Amino acid sequence: MKDKLITLLKIAISLGLMAYLFYRFLSDPADRAVLVETLTTANYAWLLLALLLFEAAIVVNAVKWYVLLRAQGVPVPLIALTNYTFVGFFFNNFLPANVGGDVMRGFGVARYTERNADAAVSVVVDRIIGLMGYMVSAVVAALIVVRIVSETGQLGGVPASPALVENLTQVEIVAVLGTLFIVGVFAMMLSDRLRELIGRLFDIKFLKPLAPIYRQLSNAFGAYRTQYRALFQAFLLGVANIVLTSLVDIAIVAGLHGTIPPLYIFLFNPIIAVVLIAPISIGGLGTMSVLYVYFYGLVGVPATLAFALSLVKQLVIYVGSLPGGVLWLRSREAVKQQAERRRDDAEAGNAF
């Protein structure tokens, strides 16, 4: 009952936010005219490029995961991890919780290798490395933007108001603090001393049955402690992923015949992606649009363009995630056929 209520709440949040945004932009004749014209006159070649870039970002995510699993000595082919990654994206965007995709990815690797702890930890480390890449990208973009605005008093040929400078400085502070927090959490997870201290809790009588599971997870985290090269490679792939997803937004803006300085996109895209991890809506529906309108509004981007960008981005994400649904259905069918063959073999053996 609790899970159903949470799901209903997420559906209500998504639908409520979208209803509010559509009412806001469609109830005003001027905004409605701009929004409709922006969407109906889009250049579909640019939007197709955005879709291809999004698919490329998913593949880069799979390669990052492959690097991390290889560092643990978990032998999973890249093609299999690519399939699991697409399935994960499908579940992320069509289920109420963004963690659904991580569960499906971990389940796929665990079923493939029968190394449950390593599979679970690889997904967690993959997510944290991705977050680090996102936040570091946001920090770099914020530093560049603030420096340009401070030295020239403008950005993209547009004079920068004191309010804009203040907003950008606040975004820079948030990005730096977020990066430090994520790096700190990851460092603690890799710390042998901290994991040993936590392990002592499992000497408590009612926690002892869970001790073997904790040891497996702790050992899996410990496997990354000296894998600096693999972690750095994964981090670079995380940065490549945010570059690709930012290029998705740049292509969409070009397709909508709009103008947003690319530096703004490289600044806000990773921050929005991190915020969207919080599973308060279904696949980010509604919350992503609100965040786009809010953040880009801080730097003077027209709200109608930001809203149109978010709508097309949501569509690109949904369409780009559909291959994961096809792969999931095919895997279910393959498992079903395998089970039927085993049953037939068992019946044949019994008959013999």
The length of the chain in residues reads: 352
Range scoring the smallest mean pLDDT among 77-86, 254-263, 272-281? 272-281
pLDDT tens-digit readout, 53-109? 999 999 999 999 999 888 878 888 899 899 989 998 888 887 655 456 677 777 777
More confident residue, 94 or 350: 94
Q: How many whole angstroms separate alpha carbon 261 and alpha carbon 267?
A: 10
More confident residue, 338 or 244: 244
3-state secondary structure 238-288: HHHHHHHHHHHHHHHHHHCCCCCCHHHHHHHHHHHHHHCCCCCCCCCCCHH
Look at the block and give the residue holding tokens 């790096």: 183
Look at the block and give the residue holding tokens 């499908």: 90
First to last CA, the chain: 49
pTM of the model: 0.82
Q: What is the pLDDT of residue 280?
A: 80
Q: What is the pLDDT of residue 289?
A: 94
Q: What is the pLDDT of residue 72?
A: 79
Q: Which two tokens stand for residue 306?
A: 């930001």
